[in-house]
Structure 1
């Protein structure tokens, strides 16, 4: 199947199963259909097994198991929360993942799963048992059309999904690199230490805004793009200064008439944690070419919400690394600090837990507060 065919099949599958899903009556049909229609398995009934018996202190059954790719599936009905404990037949309280791990521990070593998938017909929680204490990757059924490759491990022992993430993340890194170079040319003192500090901080802020608009953190798709779209290139610098100031202000701290004067600016939420707190960061003037680069190439033509945090963290690090860039910007922003922002940013945009501190000029009073988006104004 081509990528276009796979996307179409995933879209149709998601539509067929929207709002449906009873564990006992629909599980096998759901998985057989997914494997055959979306992932091209010709004889799915020979590829996956259901209700394999497992002996605990009582007899239990594994909902689904794919021997060739070592995937164990724990299926729940629609509406069941996958991260909360459920009472078992023996009276114990276990989350679906804990339940699956208990089954896995009783399997012969050669049959133990590399992947555990818990599912409630609306979401797939994917646990990589190479990182058994790590958080799961979450794929929503409604997003399967664009994220089908993230479940490719169900049928492929290779690294197809990793290659896709690498490809997308390298594209993002290239965009950041081009943007970095274009911005650097606009500074009056491009080799100055303060310039490089400001440029690194500006790049991180812009990446945050690009991701936040695509991931829905700002409230609506293309919100950052639309805010800047009708502003002439000569006014972009001032518009960014105002936006960064607003992102650092709680609603009660803002001008009470801001929504009347500038409703587009007032609609942005408050971002806690210090990322936007330093107003001394130098932002250079924009040209028409630079505006187009930011709004079309970086914003309009690329979806930042599909970025892999681990891979992009490395790409972003390389983009600003003094060993690979003439300007040496990364000298002023340590690799550790890049990952403190980028990793949690892309792992879960609504729960930005780490603070970007250290070499960049973030106020000391920011301390160790988590970076979080909150208090979206009405």
Structure 2
């Protein structure tokens, strides 16, 4: 499979090639989630699939970098993202506030990146344990996919570095409310060398994305890895693309997080003006840092696509100055960003895969 180098080609492959496979993979995991014996674990597993399906759809775009192994890449991406979303639900809506519990749960994401790793008791520090092997099956699926990649050894340390940041974030942001900010700011100070001058909440946001891992794994599966590429991907995706990804995610969830009492990093900007300026900064930074990657045109579409995807969510309509922010950010993302946004909104409105088979207007 060739990596698309136009917005039209990208959307065609996404709707016609990737989404049907993602749908099948997610259907299988939904069936397994429905069979979880413990009611609480079952509810959280099903809720994470139902409400966060678009995370898997968006992540699957990176499978286009895997060449003929794109189906294997999708299998990994869907399984790994499903672990992430499931564990996020367990921590967000948790019956526990124990950091040891959160740390142990996220060992599953680490083991999923280590093909030879033995499974662990990921529920060791919580009362709910009977998941019918659901989490273990997700881990094993990731491991099996990675074993099929000859180049995985070249990227494993980088994947684990991104996992470590992700896991730290998930632990620190889900503990008792009064402990969250002190833990996050201390963690930030300990990692100042990785923060690239960002604020503590922007560094935390950049740590909460799985996109860098998906990019690394897809290139490795496609046999395109070179000695310098893993470090180049890290530089290009962390913190710029990953920061933009999660800040947009938090941006659209502001009202929901306020109602649920969840931490939202967008609340720490001085005002909406600063928030908009920083989102624009991340767009420009992501475009600049991905410019020299192989398949650079594809990577340039990623920040544009993130803006297009998240601002297509109906939750934007309910936010203060939401329509104005969307207008400004789409302008920053350029014509291609606006084109992708229009097509995503059309797809969401119709909610049928047949929309993807309509030839979009060339951009």
When normalised by structure 1's length, the TM-score is: 0.25
**Structure ranking higher in strand proportion:** 1
**Structure ranking higher in helix proportion:** 2
Higher relative contact order (CA 8 A, sep 6+): 2
When normalised by structure 2's length, the TM-score is: 0.25
